[in-house]
Amino acid sequence: MPMPEIGQVAARELYAAATEAGGADRFELSGDVAERLAAACDQLVRDLQQAKATGHLVTQVRGFPNLPTGQGLSRGFTAKGGQLLDLLTAFQETALLYKAAYLAAAQRLTAADAANSAALALIADHLEPS
């Protein structure tokens, strides 16, 4: 299943506005503002990771009878749990992409590149078969 789009496109557009030379729509931030926004993004990523840590509770559904309807309900709720984990991961990706945009807007390009790399690694790890 593809990752849900919950702001990643907007974050990438903001990054592009921060890294393009010139232009009326250039996105710029002072260093201290960018650092505070980046720290808030990091905190959000950590909080979402804590929420994902109990993911087995929503993907290992038990308690339905061993009948066709019970098996169907179990599969359905298991799939919904997987969708929740996909959504939490998509929120993490979006936070990292915004972090990259904020840092790029303050010309902290090495840190911005690291945030972009972290977003890619996060998605690659999530999509890798277990």
- Give domain limits for the chain: 8-127
Question: What's the pTM?
Answer: 0.87
pLDDT of residue 92: 98
CA distance 100 to 117: 9
Burial 119-130 (b: 16+ CB within 10 A, else e): beebbeebeeee
* pLDDT level of residue 2 (50, 70, 90 thresholds): confident
- Helix, strand, coil proportions of the chain in percent (round to 5)? 75, 0, 25
| Angle, vertex CA 3, rays to CA 92 and CA 34, nearest 5 | 30
pLDDT in tens, 53-111: 987 777 777 777 777 777 788 778 777 888 889 999 999 999 999 999 999 999 999 99
pLDDT in tens, 20-38: 876 678 999 999 999 999 9
